[in-house]
Chains A and B, each alone.
Chain A
């Protein structure tokens, strides 16, 4: 058995192999396009992990929403709910957070910050709840409803920043900025890394514990992996579990929006999310829906995006190449999964009772 096939046998190994292959593949493309690969690689490294500034203020700051929203996607997917509307849930969370934050200006930080985050979570859950109710009541496929609701949320934000929430001078399509007391504190001296990153890690640990160790987490897994067996053998109310997972997923995605508003942008504007909700799907898949994996994959993707910006700035290589890496990683993971499923189907069973 070669090193490669052995690595692919383990979940984490397969993801790492897919990531590595994607990077190698894109390297060749960058080379073929006539760019200086060593300069591009150096710029990518400098922009992501090469210095304290790029690591804390670039990579980890960008990783924060990816980890939180990646956890949202993972929770839903684990339960078999294909919530691809994290983007819309994040946007509605962001909108609710800014509304609450501006209304609470002058309140003490210990009061206003938790309330802001709560507002974001509630809004995210409500946005996911629309699709959850449509699914439970009318059997509407969540893949379609959540995707459509993303656009509704996007235009909703656009309306808000051109209308009711626009700053008083009506010059820019954005809201007022949050007061200092309504912002998340920074956690590393001299860096732009905010408390949201700590929250993201804590949430990942909590999600890991919940899924691994609690009865609710077990219900989530059995409802996702074998809904009919869960209902029959386990008497699990699968509908309820899926509904709960859907709302929880929306709440976590909404928290992602809240953290971005209170920790980074301090205001709401149209392009507040450069597609975090979609990239988070890639993060969750690369992580095989494991919460710890989401943390690692989130930092990896955060590094790619921070480094991609540096690569464009310092080496003149379009940042789009890192999105190609992201896409190839997902294709790689899916291909490995498919190969593994086929291998499992072909593998001999333990005892020779099968018909040969």
Chain B
């Protein structure tokens, strides 16, 4: 495949935002007929490079070739006309409009009326030709997230895109949806086009892509065929060799302590009467990490909240220690108040139990301690939580929840949206919490992550929780409801 023509070629690309250099003389070659993974930590310049290629940003220096011709975009419209389509990490759909209307949006011609039947036919035609089947009359807001992504791709295909750029496409997808998407992308590339896949998931990139390019600090530091590169080399290139992910886990205790959390026949029913948890019994002991896995909507969300004492079961008995830390998935909504200072966000932890007056000096000292001990990069504890980057917000949340030696810690997707460096830090913190005798429960939608952490695994399926060996194949079967 190496001899194939270049669909897209980027040479010497430089882009600055103020004093930040996002791209520094970067090169990138996409061969026709291939899937090419663009890897790098957050901030490495992946998205910036592809936004330049898509005409959303103008480069400060460098050139762009499409199918061997030098091109210069005035706007994305030029890039679209040249056959480039981009699916953004955050979908750009009009929720209230139908699938057909979303696809037709952006058609040229001010006076040409919208023809619903023709638009619906077009959606069906693309579905028949490519296998991306959608109901043209469905409202975008009602589509599940995987179908919204299909719609984004169909939008690009409706404009005859031959080069597809997808920015972190699997961040919102379940494992089976990711698999389907990847299979489709491979067939699309083989059939007629080429695909750029922006991702930070190394394993997925190696599995799906023909070629891999790694960006670090705005430069392409590694490029080659996925058959010749291995995971370690790619991670080393992404991180500059600073961190090893396969660190020897010396904190694991062989003998866990006394049970601190215990659930007996716990059930949870939502207000519509749907059983979300059915007869769950489990315990968590001091000094162990219990990993939770489950396909989205299998009851793990409710199980974690019961374990954290944030949700009272409708039936059964839950014995939860008074001091239990909780790191929820959506930190800006459920863990932090973005407009408030770090001091206030630390005090938030005790907002429900405090009486009398608030001792702000104490909270200030405690916030400073948390910031220092957990390596939170901030201009000060009085700055609002929203001024911190995602990784530092998460370090602060974890520091707050670990403060005052809690008996247990429940973490839900604790590394979501973080770059590898911050994620490694968070995982290390969870291990050292275990070492100091905390009963730790971790759910992650990244199965590899939870498997490397866990001493025991519990898999949720259809509201039930069952113990499973710490083994990828066994856990994957249990997640699909198959007997192990």
Which residues of A sit under 8 angstroms from B63, Cβ to Cβ? none
Contact with A along B340-367 (1 / 0, CB 8 A): 1000100111111111111010000000
Which residues of B sit under 8 angstroms from A213, Cβ to Cβ? 357-358, 360
Q: Given A350-B379, A353-B392, is A218 in contact with B22 using a C-beta cutoff of 8 Å?
A: no
Residue A233, interface by CB 8 Å: yes
Inter-subunit contact A230/B42 (CB<8 Å): no
Inter-subunit contact B388/A233 (CB<8 Å): no
Within 8 A of B (CB), among A204-234: 213-215, 217-219, 221-222, 225-226, 228-234
Inter-subunit contact B310/A235 (CB<8 Å): yes
Query: Taking the nearest CB of chain A, how far is it from the CB of B34, in angstroms?
Result: 25
Q: Which has the most chain A C-beta neighbours within 10 Å: B17, B310, B358?
A: B358
Residue B43, interface by CB 8 Å: yes
Q: Given A218-B358, A353-B422, is A229 in contact with B333 using a C-beta cutoff of 8 Å?
A: yes
In Å, the complex CA distance between A217 and B360 comes to 13
Residue B59, interface by CB 8 Å: no
Number of A-B contacts (CB under 8 A): 120
Which residues of A sit under 8 angstroms from B340, Cβ to Cβ? 221-222, 225-226
Closest chain A residue, CB of each to CB of B310: A232
- The number of chain B residues with a CB under 8 A from chain A is 51
Within 8 A of A (CB), among B321-354: 326, 328, 333-340, 344, 347-354
In Å, the complex CA distance between A180 and B193 comes to 92
Contact with A along B98-113 (1 / 0, CB 8 A): 0000000000000000
Query: Taking the nearest CB of chain A, how far is it from the CB of B389, in angstroms?
Result: 3
Inter-subunit contact A222/B379 (CB<8 Å): no
- The number of chain A residues with a CB under 8 A from chain B is 31
Inter-subunit contact A233/B326 (CB<8 Å): yes
Query: Taking the nearest CB of chain B, how far is it from the CB of A225, in angstroms?
Result: 5
In Å, the complex CA distance between A352 and B18 comes to 13
In Å, the complex CA distance between A140 and B336 comes to 28
Inter-subunit contact A215/B383 (CB<8 Å): no
Q: Which has the most chain B C-beta neighbours within 10 Å: A214, A231, A356?
A: A356
In Å, the complex CA distance between A355 and B334 comes to 22
Closest chain A residue, CB of each to CB of B397: A233
Closest chain A residue, CB of each to CB of B305: A232
Closest chain B residue, CB of each to CB of A229: B337
Q: Which has the most chain A C-beta neighbours within 10 Å: B43, B336, B351, B383?
A: B351
Inter-subunit contact B336/A226 (CB<8 Å): yes
In Å, the complex CA distance between A142 and B70 comes to 60
Q: Given A215-B358, A233-B348, A353-B419, is A228 in contact with B339 using a C-beta cutoff of 8 Å?
A: no
Inter-subunit contact B352/A350 (CB<8 Å): no
From A225, A235, A236, A352, contact of B20 by CB (8 A): A352
Closest chain A residue, CB of each to CB of B352: A235
Query: Taking the nearest CB of chain A, how far is it from the CB of B368, in angstroms?
Result: 16
Closest chain B residue, CB of each to CB of A356: B22
Inter-subunit contact B349/A234 (CB<8 Å): yes
Which residues of B sit under 8 angstroms from A354, Cβ to Cβ? 42-43, 389-390
In Å, the complex CA distance between A218 and B224 comes to 56
Inter-subunit contact A355/B42 (CB<8 Å): yes
Query: Taking the nearest CB of chain B, how far is it from the CB of A221, in angstroms?
Result: 8
Which residues of A sit under 8 angstroms from B313, Cβ to Cβ? none
Inter-subunit contact A234/B336 (CB<8 Å): no
Q: Would you give 18 A-B contacts (Cβ < 8 Å), ordered by A? A: A214-B357, A214-B358, A218-B344, A225-B337, A225-B340, A226-B339, A229-B348, A234-B350, A235-B309, A237-B352, A347-B387, A349-B387, A349-B388, A350-B383, A350-B389, A351-B391, A353-B391, A355-B43
